[in-house]
Structure 1
Amino acid sequence: MKKLKYAIFIIAVFIITSCEKLIEVDIPNNQIDRTVVFKDVQTANAALAALYADVMRSSPIAGGDLEAYLSAYTDELDDFTTVASDSRDIFLNQQIDNNSIVYNAWTGAYKHIYSANSILEGVAGSTGITASDKKYLRGETLLIRTIMFFYLNQLYGDIPYPESTDYNVNNSIKKTASAQMLTYMERDLTEVSALLQNEYRNAERIYPNRMVARLLLAKIYMSKQEWEKAEAALKEIVQNPMYVMQPEVSMVFQKAGQHILWQLKPHNNASLRQATGYYFTNSVPNTWAISASLIHSFQSNDLRWQNWIAPVTFNGNIYYRVEKYKNRSNTNTNEYSIVFRLEEVYLLLAEALVQQDKIADALPYVNATRQRAQLSLLKMPISKNVLFDEILLEDKREFFAEMGHRFLDLKRLGKLNTLITTKPNWKDFHKLMPIPQKEILLNANLQPQNTGY
């Protein structure tokens, strides 16, 4: 335990002191030798645990602020704050390049990427870690790095792709074209798929396995419109007996489900931000409440409406809050932060099949979530366009306020501009966020700024 605590302290200091700037990272003269941190598998595991903890504290996959901001940026949440703020600018689609949320999303992801690169370098250079242990250490770390690149690519388009902690390289790194980014991520996830096993390192599925890599790789394939490859990767997951659809809507966000591919464990049984951040009662919403657009997408008999949405009545008005995670007591023993679950695999697979005109084959995967919600099942004959609309509706009802799903789904399907019907300030260039002004000032190679900003 002393060794683990020491390594966690070292890596925490390494991260904090080395990430004051986005890509322009100064290496302290008194930095502890990396060979100490990666002396053996115990200290390497501690370094990786520190990265997981940091991702849990603040990232798009762990219920952080960006999750809510992206829901408000699209049409899932309304912002009830009454004063001008960077948060309200996001909701109103009026963000500019010095918006603090835009800046924090960028720098936070690159901090995780820098930490991941440090671990990758340390593990590769270690003589005290066995080859088999190096596989999962590299695989899991590379997976986390790729997730961060994926969100950056979706939010900002052309972005830097640093693969090392070398200050001389990163100080003036240029942007990589979005299409090339997808190719790099495909390459990395193919490697991760070879490094990780199907079996989980922990029975609670708090570390990713090979199937998580296959899911993320399928998302890359779909971004590249390579539908057959996406179908094959997704079917690997669907056909794996480890995963079973959770039949009870009320239990979807409890940690023990076999529908969970990967989840992050909170520290000391703490309540999740997904449970506390959206909570309000006996008042007007403090910040966010569910939008009318989202409410109207549900039928009244939909079990998700009954279990995942809570009405709040105040002064004769009814507001609705997100109620997927429910434990707010900080004695949380049954809810972990779910990153990926089987329902996403089903709906992505349905989409990939429809893209190939395999309409009948797609229906069971769309109907799986509908059946669990006790909605009527879709039947043949049904047109391709109608089924696409139904898949997007199921995505909206199933994944609202989760990890920016709505933004990512609309973007993948080329339907972000449909937001104009509910978001009057929406413009075509809002498909991308602006590159933070501070970062362009630090590194002129990040120019040109994204169109519209």
Structure 2
Amino acid sequence: MKTSIIRYIFFFMAVQFFCTSCEKLIEVQMPDNQINTKQVFEDVQTANAALAGLYAGLWDNSPLSGDQSGKLLGSYTDDLNCYAVTATNGAYDIYINQQVDTNTAVYSYWSSAYEKIYAANSIIEGVEHSSLPSVEKNRVKGEALLVRSMLYFYLQQMFGDIPYVVSTDYQLNRILSKTSASDISARLEIDLSQAISWLVDDYRNAERIFPNRKVAQLLLAKVYMTEGKWSDAETLLKGIVQSSLYQFENDITKVFTKSEKHILWQLKPKNSGDPTKEVILYYFSNALPNNYAVSEDLMNSFSNNDLRKLNWITPVTVNGNTWYRVDKYKNRTVNNTEYSVIIRLEEVYFLLAESLVQQNMLQEAVSYINPTRVRAGLTALSNQLPKAQLIDEILSERRKEFFAEMGHRFLDLKRLGRLHTLLTVKQNWKDTHQRWPIPQNELLLNQHLNPQNAGY
């Protein structure tokens, strides 16, 4: 029965999303062996199955997938080299900073995000009109709203002004204009505050594969930090750090183990025992890399005794030439210990340190930078460092800590106004590359999305 429910939910979401990009609403007859839309949200089990379908979609293809933001934004900046040279995948053009509005990887990033946004809206609308108990209704809406907000955050960072879709009304969505990036941030503040009020701290699964209130608070803190609201971010981040739910992981070899208490949210592979998408994407041995490898610039940023370099990067030598493999996830066959980590406590520490530095609370900030340095086998920073140097240290440590994860490098450089530093290491980098082009297909379907982003 559960399989049947989930199969229907995927069918329902796919049909609903397909209608948003068609000129005519297509009528599809309900399969005889499936439940209808109203029934999905009249029962907690089936409502949870709808959410499970959304999370499975995030893992399969979205900006949160282990083979999306990490690789694309890592190679777009200076952390990864791309060796996926084909005429159709678009990834190599992103790496050499020659993306255009017909780039297939850019279009996939956009369309997969909006597909999941539409699915989240379907859940929010369905639950809102259901007779579920208020606690369950709010929890389901809160999770869906949080997922939608995270997807919008990534879309805003990559594209700037974008349509902010909040309904499943096909006729309305197909003519929506863009919302400015600043208004997107304001809307995210409202939506995430609402999600925080609906969610609770306790996880509904011990493996933390569903986000809780603390995840929503972290995302709101990230929004605040893009707006320079350092004190507001600090308050939220300290609430996470002080929570008994989390504990800093001092063992470098356990950072990507699914059962550890420093993980805030992770995505479970589609089938039991499947490897993470990251290990499939980045693995190569005894042969030239055919996807991605660590860049020389990133390798040179590590000291020789940095345990992150020794544990998370593996040299592969072929015919006297050496490449460096991203090796954070280890299980390539039967995987019972690793899920794809979306958010971990180390990010909270670094964001808190940054918010404190920006408020000139320098000594306190150092106390949140040093744990990852000490775990990596490095000496602790002095608490007498000046503000500018501490910002540099945070950026450097975040790079070495989060390479190939969730596009952190791009987001950090953008937030700190340092994307221009890529001019020295990326030969085709331009100032307009802080945004990607809106996909041509979308501009053709909806003229209200014009004008195209500058430089494309």
Q: CA deviation at 1:341?
A: 0.4
Q: Please give the alpha-carbon distance, in whole angstroms, between the structure 1 residues aligned to 2:85 and 2:136.
A: 52
Secondary structure at 2:248 match in 1: coil
> CA distance change for structure 1 residues 124 and 367 in 2, over 3 Å: closer, same or farther?
same
Q: What is residue 18 of structure 2 aligned with on the other side?
A: 20
Q: CA deviation at 1:112?
A: 0.2
Q: How does 1:368-447 map to 2 (within 5 A)?
A: 368-447=371-450
> 1:366-393 deviations in whole A, cap 9, x for unaligned?
1111011010111032111111010000
1:89 aligns with 2:89: no
- Among 174, 179, 200, the residue aligned to 2:177: 174
Q: Please give the alpha-carbon distance, in whole angstroms, between the structure 1 residues aligned to 2:241 and 2:410.
A: 25
Q: What is residue 28 of structure 2 aligned with on the other side?
A: 30
> 1:340-372 deviations in whole A, cap 9, x for unaligned?
000000000000001111111100101111011
CA contact (8 A) 2:16 2:168 kept: no
Q: Please give the alpha-carbon distance, in whole angstroms, between the structure 2 residues aligned to 1:15 and 1:64.
A: 22
Q: Please give the alpha-carbon distance, in whole angstroms, between the structure 1 residues aligned to 2:172 and 2:178.
A: 13
Q: What is residue 267 of structure 2 aligned with on the other side?
A: 264
Runs of 4+ in 1 over 6 A off after TM superposition: none
Letter in 1 for 2:422: L
Q: CA deviation at 1:79?
A: 1.4
> 1:111-134 deviations in whole A, cap 9, x for unaligned?
00000000001001112x111111
Letter in 2 for 1:448: P
Q: Which moved more, 1:286-295 or 1:61-70?
A: 61-70
Q: CA deviation at 1:39?
A: 2.5
Secondary structure at 1:320 match in 2: strand
Q: Please give the alpha-carbon distance, in whole angstroms, between the structure 1 residues aligned to 2:84 and 2:26.
A: 41
- Among 204, 225, 229, the residue aligned to 2:228: 225
Secondary structure at 1:296 match in 2: helix
Q: Please give the alpha-carbon distance, in whole angstroms, between the structure 2 residues aligned to 1:81 and 1:46.
A: 36
Q: What is residue 207 of structure 1 aligned with on the other side?
A: 210
- Among 272, 275, 278, the residue aligned to 2:279: 275
Letter in 1 for 2:341: I
Letter in 2 for 1:365: Y
Q: What is residue 329 of structure 2 aligned with on the other side?
A: 325
Q: What is residue 308 of structure 2 aligned with on the other side?
A: 304
Q: What is residue 40 of structure 1 aligned with on the other side?
A: 43
Q: What is residue 64 of structure 2 aligned with on the other side?
A: 61
CA contact (8 A) 2:265 2:343 kept: yes
Q: CA deviation at 1:7?
A: 2.2
CA contact (8 A) 2:20 2:174 kept: no
Letter in 2 for 1:20: F
Q: What is residue 347 of structure 1 aligned with on the other side?
A: 350
> CA distance change for structure 1 residues 39 and 439 in 2, over 3 Å: closer, same or farther?
same
Secondary structure at 1:268 match in 2: coil
Letter in 2 for 1:307: N
Question: Aligned Cα RMSD in Å?
Answer: 1.4
Q: How does 1:249-260 map to 2 (within 5 A)?
A: 249-260=252-263
Q: Please give the alpha-carbon distance, in whole angstroms, between the structure 1 residues aligned to 2:399 and 2:23.
A: 39
Q: CA deviation at 1:186?
A: 0.7
1:448 aligns with 2:451: yes
> CA distance change for structure 1 residues 380 and 45 in 2, over 3 Å: closer, same or farther?
closer
Q: What is residue 164 of structure 1 aligned with on the other side?
A: 167
Letter in 1 for 2:237: L
CA contact (8 A) 1:63 1:273 kept: yes
1:290 aligns with 2:316: no
Letter in 2 for 1:321: R
Secondary structure at 1:112 match in 2: helix
CA contact (8 A) 2:67 2:281 kept: no
Q: CA deviation at 1:278?
A: 0.5
Letter in 1 for 2:232: K
- Among 189, 194, 198, the residue aligned to 1:191: 194
Secondary structure at 2:266 match in 1: strand
Q: Which moved more, 1:20-29 or 1:205-214?
A: 20-29
1:358 aligns with 2:361: yes
Secondary structure at 1:301 match in 2: coil
- Among 6, 9, 18, the residue aligned to 1:8: 6
CA contact (8 A) 2:19 2:170 kept: no
Q: Please give the alpha-carbon distance, in whole angstroms, between the structure 1 residues aligned to 2:178 and 2:234.
A: 31
- Among 100, 118, 122, the residue aligned to 2:122: 118
Q: Please give the alpha-carbon distance, in whole angstroms, between the structure 2 residues aligned to 1:172 and 1:388.
A: 43
Q: Please give the alpha-carbon distance, in whole angstroms, between the structure 1 residues aligned to 2:219 and 2:136.
A: 23
Percent of aligned positions that are identical: 49
Q: What is residue 33 of structure 2 aligned with on the other side?
A: none
> CA distance change for structure 1 residues 26 and 348 in 2, over 3 Å: closer, same or farther?
farther
Q: Please give the alpha-carbon distance, in whole angstroms, between the structure 1 residues aligned to 2:263 and 2:152.
A: 23
> 1:56-110 deviations in whole A, cap 9, x for unaligned?
1112223023421111100011112455552211110000000001111000000
> CA distance change for structure 1 residues 14 and 77 in 2, over 3 Å: closer, same or farther?
same
Secondary structure at 1:159 match in 2: coil
Letter in 2 for 1:15: M
* TM-score (norm: length of structure 1): 0.97
* TM-score (norm: length of structure 2): 0.96
Structure 1 portions without partners, runs of 5+: none
CA contact (8 A) 1:5 1:46 kept: no
CA contact (8 A) 1:269 1:333 kept: yes
Q: Please give the alpha-carbon distance, in whole angstroms, between the structure 2 residues aligned to 1:59 and 1:84.
A: 22
Letter in 2 for 1:287: N
Q: Please give the alpha-carbon distance, in whole angstroms, between the structure 2 residues aligned to 1:21 and 1:164.
A: 13
Letter in 1 for 2:209: I
Q: Please give the alpha-carbon distance, in whole angstroms, between the structure 1 residues aligned to 2:342 and 2:13.
A: 23
CA contact (8 A) 1:351 1:388 kept: yes
> 1:313-357 deviations in whole A, cap 9, x for unaligned?
11001110100001000x111001111000000000000001111
Q: CA deviation at 1:269?
A: 1.7
Q: CA deviation at 1:442?
A: 0.2
Q: Which moved more, 1:282-291 or 1:83-92?
A: 83-92
CA contact (8 A) 1:198 1:209 kept: yes
Secondary structure at 1:208 match in 2: coil
> CA distance change for structure 1 residues 30 and 276 in 2, over 3 Å: closer, same or farther?
closer
CA contact (8 A) 1:22 1:107 kept: no
